[in-house]
Amino acid sequence: MKYYFIPLILIIASCFSCKKVKITDEYTLVSTGKMIEFKIPYDIKNTSPCLQYYVSEKGNPYLCYLNMENNKILFFNINTEKLSFIIEMPRRGPQGVGGIGSFMVHNMDTIPLTTGQMNVLYLIDSTGTLKRKFPIEDIINGLYNTYIKPSYVQQRNLIVVNNKILAGTHLLTRLGPEDLEKYKICLEIDMKNNKQRLLPMTFPPLGNRDNEPVAHNYSTLMTNGKFIYSFYCSHNLYLTEDHQKVTVLPAKSRYIKKDFKPQALRLGSYFEIAKSIWEKLGYRNFFYDKYRDVYYRFAYPGSKLDDSYKDEAPNVLIDVGEFTPVFSIMVLNSELEIIGERLMPENTYHIWMSFVGKEGLYISTNHTGNPDFDADYLRFELFKLGKKQD
């Protein structure tokens, strides 16, 4: 095992070790042909960047689904395929939380929310009662104050453990590999006394081959007392128990063959934004399947948006930016070794909208390129882990 250290100023705080892993191609994801679908109310959008599978204490499995436009979190019962109840939070007033950006259902009494205010975390329950606010203290992270990142499907980073919330930090500026290593990645909030501290692990030196700044989005999982970080723009996974000593594990998709795109200095026209989204290859959703003891890492190989879209209306280009055409799903075993990868059919599935349930991996067919797309429904296709056939 090879050890190397981050810059001298942080040498005490954190060290990384590299570990070799085996790569095999024994497994794949196989469609069962089974679908689940939920009829959605008229005021609910048929895609969302934030959804979650949750099993209640009574054993009821739910799809929890955020509709940002009207500050609602919908709970669909997966067994009955019916809407069970809705949490609707006001934006203003004593119970106001602003606009909900993301959520994480720990249990029915503990649901942390992030909002557009990246310097406060809200805690609600399933009745929609605002239980507590956690204003983020003036804790300096690198050169700036600490802000918290929204927890979407593609960058899940809210964890509740031992009565503490672990929230991913958000960087407001464009940073290169060396500067990134000055910034801590996780804020710990004690829910009893609101004591807050930055954990010592810093961002790894993310960058492309030219050392240009790249997207620093990431997902965090906690399994068996260990934290695993998957970054949009890193072929590696980062494993830690204490946020000090970090093991680096290679986990590169066979379909990502180009270099990571640098972060744009400024946004341009709607067409340029959509084109940038399509071209921005990297890693997205990262799930642990506790029922089969494997991990799924989604990889987006990047696509080229045709110039014929230049004259399209803004609303069309917003949709185009959301519905990227293709992605793959890597399967990793309990040791985070790659044991398979499947390239999904083009223009069929929505890369944001997926979740792991007891029966397998559910992937949304709510893609405008899918002939079965219906704006009145949320539809998910069930995939199971299977051995590859010779």
- 44 with 55: CB under 8 angstroms? no
The model's pTM: 0.93
pLDDT tens digits, one per residue of 194-244: 999 999 999 999 988 998 889 999 999 999 999 999 999 999 999 999 999
Task: Write the Ramachandran bin of 21: left for phi over 0, alpha for psi from -120 to 50, otherwise beta.
Answer: beta
What is the pLDDT, as a whole number, of residue 3? 33
CB-CB contact of 112 with 160 (8 Å): yes
| pLDDT tens digit sequence for 61-98 | 999 999 999 999 999 999 999 999 999 999 999 999 99
Architecture of domain 22-387: 6 Propeller (2.120)
User: Distance between CA atoms of 128 and 97, rounded to whole angstroms?
Assistant: 11
pLDDT at 321: 83
The closest alpha carbon to 248, from 221, 230, 270, belongs to 230
Each domain of the chain, given as residue ranges in start order, spans: 22-387
Rounded CA separation 157/151 (Å): 5
Rounded distance between C-alpha atoms, residue 112 and residue 121, angstroms: 7
Query: For the chain, which residues score pLDDT lower than 70?
Result: 1-17, 20, 264-267, 390
